[in-house]
Structure 1
Amino acid sequence: MLKKCMGDPSFIIPTEGIEIKDSLSYEEIPVHILDRQVRKLRTTEVASVKVLWRNQFVENATWEAKEDMKKRYPHHFESEESVDQGTNFLLSAL
């Protein structure tokens, strides 16, 4: 049996900018990296980044492995590498 449902207009996502494929699917593209963290396991450390995806709200951002994201989307990590190189330069100058 179906029940009457009142829709919430805040959950409506505009579809003009979404490229929908013939299989009615689309690829999510990361827009911004919101946060970074390193989790310590027993013997290893796992670096993670919190990613804001296109057509999603900040509340729906997900934690992804940093190395995987770096391989797939290296342009999001270019500024981080330049900061690391600058730090290495300063340390070598001392």
Structure 2
Amino acid sequence: MPLIRVKLKTKASRQKSYTDFYRREVVFQEGDMVLLEVSPVKGVIWFRMRGKLATRYIRPCKVLQRVEYVSYKLALPLEMERIHSVFHVSMLRKHVLDPNKVISKPNIEISEDLFYVNQLVQIVDTQIRKLRNKEIPKVKVL
């Protein structure tokens, strides 16, 4: 073999060892819930997310099928029906539902004139914030 081919082969094997070391294989099954990552520029145009502090991920979507080795077809919400539903695996993150972080709805009774009554459960803490000329009382209520 010529010397150039030998050097190219050694260089390729070195690069392959670096990539294999840092690569992680991500595979989703049909029915898994994933988060779709969007960039801010695409977010303004396609996903109606604006501003610097907009979320990076769109709500959880269900994986319908694996299209190719690295792309998946998702079940997108109705407001995103104009968007192509096949995405590369680099744009997806696995959605893990933590039952401890689920917030239950409070039971609020609303009258016919659309007013409700605040009911205090417990006073947790009281503080007095002192400014130069004022004192502002603060009460933390459960």
TM over 0.5: no
Flag the structure with higher helix content: 1
TM-score (norm 2): 0.26
Which protein is bigger by CA-based radius of gyration?
Answer: 2
